[in-house]
Amino acid sequence: MVVNKTETYTHIKPTQDSAVQFFAEFKENFKEFKGQHLIIDFSEKINIEIKEILLFLKLSVQHRKNGTSFVLVCEGISIDDLPDELNVVPTFNEALDIFEMDAIERELGF
């Protein structure tokens, strides 16, 4: 996986051949990302399926409980087929928008 950290978020791109392989590596290194706002970017991965995206649900919920954002970038996925606890957007710019909305919610105490 390729990890790029900025002042406001950490952008992670898988280099593995499958989302399942990436998830295994990500889960193993998950503690390293504590306190960081995360964008997991599957935009270059073709044919990611909903069942693969759902692998990230528990980690997303856990990460968000700590007051940080967790967003997956996946094109061609209907958000209506995913639980509300999982932030999935089609583009990187929309992931940044989610971070801004999350920050506003945290400021308002939601």
What is the rounded average pLDDT for all residues in the chain? 90
Compute the distance between CA of residue 14 and CA of residue 26 in angstroms, rounded to an integer: 9
Res. 26 pLDDT band, cuts 50 70 90: very high
Task: Give the phi and the psi of residue 79 in degrees, each rounded to 5.
Answer: -70, -15
pLDDT digits over 43-84, tens only? 887 678 899 999 999 999 988 888 899 999 998 888 888 998
Q: What is the pLDDT of residue 92?
A: 94
- Domains of the chain: residue spans and CATH: 2-108 (3.30.750.24)
Average pLDDT over residues 17-35: 91
| CA 89 to each of CA 25, 31, 72, 100: distance values in angstroms, whole numbers, following the listed order | 22, 24, 6, 14
